[in-house]
Structure 1
Amino acid sequence: MIKIEHVSKAFGGIQAVDDVSFEVAEGSITGLIGPNGAGKSTLFNIVAGLIRPDSGRISLEGRDITGRRPHQLFHQGLVRTFQIPHEFSRMTVRENLMVVPAGQAGENLFKAWFRWGQVREQDSKVLERVDEVLDFLEISHVADELAGNLSGGQKKLLDLGRTMMTDARAVLLDEPGAGVNRTLLGKISEAIQRLNTERGYTFCLIEHDMDLISKLCDPVHVMANGALIASGPMSEIRQNEQVREAYLGGGASGRMGEQR
């Protein structure tokens, strides 16, 4: 679904992404891991249209999307979340979900004044969808809570909910497990799996929690110093000496989630 071909990006004298190529297959949950500073988030930002690459090509379902802006990619079904959720903190959870769908009639002043029936009908459909998303993610109990008051894990679930309010086909998840307690991490993991298996979402996710990567992802790609150094199932990645060297110089069994 997403094809990354020979993508490179430098900032001054620092090569943040160095000739990276891999694919995110349709229907997969693909992992992207690596030590801090490996270039993972920069690559995500390139795919998501926040940064233009110096060279290389990004395609989505065979269409070249290199350099497309985030709002253009949104309409093509590619969305991303961030390590630090970007919720509207002074709006409720329900309102955060309601504002996501594009092209709502109520956003047009003429229609808001003179076609209120159309606006009301569309709002009703959006609310139905919101309720379905809240139920799916099991966060109906915080629907009327200000989003800024949510816990870190609840905000990550809200981020997932916002992707569900779009016509997303591919979702880039940036550290969905960061700062989340184990109970909510389990809910997030379950929601990702269900969206993948029941609704056909394709995911590519950056994550430092190797247990979460092992549970969700196949294949897994590993970056270090801007370059792609390994790809494959997590069982192989754990045994890869180059990967072990990238994580703490070979003493990385604990960091890589290996059982002792």
Structure 2
Amino acid sequence: MIEIDGVSKAFGGLQAVHNVSFTVERGSITGLIGPNGAGKSTLFNIVAGVIPPDEGRIALDGQDITGLPPHQLFHRGLVRTFQIPHEFSRMTVRENLMIVPAGQQGESLLQSWLRWARIVRQDREILRRADEVLDFLEIGHLADELAGNLSGGQKKLLDLGRTMMTDARAVLLDEPGAGVNRTLLGKLAEAIERLNRERGYTFCVIEHDMDLIARLCDPVMVMANGELIASGSMETLRQDERVLEAYLGSGSSGQAGASA
């Protein structure tokens, strides 16, 4: 579904990503792991249209999307979340969901005057959809809470909910487990699995929690020093000397031990 073909990116003399190629298959939950500084976030930013590649090509469903800005990718069904959630802190959880759908007629002053009944119907539909998302994520009890008051894990669930308010086909998840307690992490993982299984969402996940990667992802791609060094199931990668060396060589022996 997402094809990454020969992508490279340098910042001055630093080669952040070098000739990376892999495919995120439709209907998969594909993992992207590697030690700090491996180039994972840079690659995500390229795919998400935040920065252009120096070389290479990105395709979505066979169509070239290289260099398209995030708002255009949003309308094509490719969305991303961030390691640090970007909620509207002074709006309620429900309001954070309701502002997501594009093309709302109430945003136009002229439409507000001329098509009020249609706007009311659209608002009711968006409200229904938002409440459905809240129920799906089991955070309906937080609907009227200010988003800024949520815990880190609750904000990650809200971030996932915002992707559900779009017509997303492919979602880039940037460290969904970061800063999330184990209870909420289990709920978040379950929501991702259900979205994949029941609604056909395709995910690509950057994550440092190897237990979460092992639960969710197959296949898993491994980057180190800007390059793709291995791919396969977590079971296979746990025995791969290249993967172990990449983590151990970066001073991440504890992390490598957890994944091995």
Q: Per the shorter chain, which TM-score range?
A: over 0.9
Q: TM-score when scaled to structure 2?
A: 0.97
Quote the offset at 1:51 in angstroms. Answer: 0.3
Q: TM-score when scaled to structure 1?
A: 0.97
Using the alignment, how far apart are the partners of 1:148 and 1:34 within structure 2? 31
Alignment-derived partner of residue 50 in structure 1: 50
Quote the offset at 1:251 in angstroms. Answer: 8.6
Using the alignment, how far apart are the partners of 2:223 and 2:23 within structure 1? 14
Alignment-derived partner of residue 243 in structure 1: 243
Quote the offset at 1:255 in angstroms. Answer: 1.7
Using the alignment, how far apart are the partners of 1:185 and 1:113 within structure 2? 45
Q: Please show how residues 98-109 of structure 1 align to structure 2 within 5 Å.
A: 98-109=98-109
1:115 maps to 2:115: yes
Using the alignment, how far apart are the partners of 1:249 and 1:52 within structure 2? 30
Contact 1:2–1:60 under 8 Å retained in 2:
yes
Using the alignment, how far apart are the partners of 2:227 and 2:250 within structure 1? 18
**Helix, strand or coil: the match of 1:127?**
helix
| Pairwise CA RMSD | 1.2
Alignment-derived partner of residue 85 in structure 2: 85
Q: Deviations over 1:96-130 (max 9, x none)?
A: 00000000110111111221111100000000000
Contact 1:112–1:119 under 8 Å retained in 2:
yes
Judging changes above 3 Å, is the alpha-carbon distance between structure 1 residues 258 and 14 closer, same or farther for their aligned structure 2 residues?
closer
Alignment-derived partner of residue 163 in structure 1: 163
Contact 2:2–2:23 under 8 Å retained in 1:
yes
Alignment-derived partner of residue 194 in structure 2: 194
Q: Deviations over 1:39-72 (max 9, x none)?
A: 0000000000000000000000000000000000
Unpaired runs of at least 5, structure 2: none
Length, aligned pairs only: 259
Q: Deviations over 1:201-241 (max 9, x none)?
A: 00000000000000000000000010000000001111111
Judging changes above 3 Å, is the alpha-carbon distance between structure 1 residues 215 and 191 closer, same or farther for their aligned structure 2 residues?
same
**Helix, strand or coil: the match of 2:194?**
helix
Identity of aligned residues (%): 77
Alignment-derived partner of residue 59 in structure 1: 59
Alignment-derived partner of residue 125 in structure 1: 125
